[in-house]
């Protein structure tokens, strides 16, 4: 069993330790340092992203609260506008109804006045015709013609008599 690979050799042992230490030093200087710096940068980027996400979440919650308040306020304002519109419509309807009633009453009064005027004209014409007829009959009965002045006087007297009988 004299295998040189299995027997400890102090020279090989020392060279192995030296190579290992040199390799650790080189890896630490050229690989471990940049790798740690990259990991630190990555940790900083991730921490920044986490902070940004937290801030965005807080802003989103704030926006949601604001939107809920705006929506509630819009609902209240909408209900107020609808209530005002209904009240205005009711006032308009009442005003139009009153205006229509006033116009109908005015038309009724005008129609009554017109009827009274027409009735008065008709009565006056009937009176004149009755007087003329009476004069003609009286003239025939008396067998004489009545003058225009006598006729006018007779008409006025007859009208006064008829009006006094009416009252």
In a domain, 4, yes or no: no
pLDDT value at residue 107: 93
Q: Is residue 41 part of a domain?
A: yes
Q: Classify residue 3: in a domain, yes or no.
A: no
Looking at the domain assignment, is residue 32 inside a domain? yes
In a domain, 39, yes or no: yes
What is the model's pLDDT at position 165? 75
Domain that holds residue 90: 10-166
**Beta-carbon count within 10 A of 155 CB:** 17
- Output 71 or 143, whichever has higher pLDDT: 71
First to last CA, the chain: 169
List Cα–Cα distances, 112 to 59, 105, 106, 108, in angstroms: 77, 10, 10, 6
In a domain? residue 110: yes
Residue 1 resides in a domain: no
Q: How much is the pLDDT for 9? A: 74
For range 42-60, the mean pLDDT: 95
Task: Tell me the per-residue pLDDT of 89-145, one tens digit each, with 9 for 90 and over.
Answer: 999 999 999 999 999 999 999 999 999 999 988 888 887 877 777 777 776 666 556
Average pLDDT value for residue range 75-82: 94
How confident is the model over 34-39, as a mean pLDDT?
Answer: 87
**Total number of residues shown for the chain:** 167
- Asked if the structure places residue 123 within a domain, the reply is yes
At residue 7, the pLDDT reads 74
Residues 49, 55, 57: CA angle, nearest 5 degrees: 100
**Predicted local confidence at residue 140, as pLDDT:** 64
Rg value, the chain, Cα = 62
- The torsion of the CA quartet 109, 114, 117, 118, rounded to 10 degrees, works out to -140
Give, as one character, the DSSP assignment of residue 146.
P
What is the token pair recorded at 40? 């630190």
- The pLDDT value recorded for residue 67 is 94
Element (H, E) at 3: none
Q: Are 145 and 139 in contact (CB under 8 A)?
A: yes
Number of domains in the chain: 1
Distance CA 106, CA 102 (A): 6
């Amino acid at each position: 069993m004299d295998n040189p690979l299995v027997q400890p050799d102090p020279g090989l042992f020392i060279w192995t330790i030296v190579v290992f230490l040199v390799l650790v030093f080189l890896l630490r200087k050229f690989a471990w340092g940049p790798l740690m710096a990259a990991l630190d940068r990555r940790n900083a980027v991730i921490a920044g992203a986490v902070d940004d996400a937290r801030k965005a979440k807080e802003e989103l919650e704030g926006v949601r609260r604001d939107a809920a308040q705006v929506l509630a306020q819009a609902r209240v304002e909408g209900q107020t506008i609808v209530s005002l519109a209904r009240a205005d419509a009711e006032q308009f309807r009442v005003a139009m109804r009153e205006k229509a009633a006033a116009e109908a009453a005015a038309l009724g009064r005008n129609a009554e006045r017109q009827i009274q005027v027409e009735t008065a004209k008709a009565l006056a014409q009937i009176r004149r015709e009755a007087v003329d007829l009476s004069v003609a009959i009286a003239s025939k009965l008396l067998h004489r013609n009545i003058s225009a002045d006598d006729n006018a006087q007779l008409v006025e007297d007859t009208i006064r008599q008829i009006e006094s009988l009416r009252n």
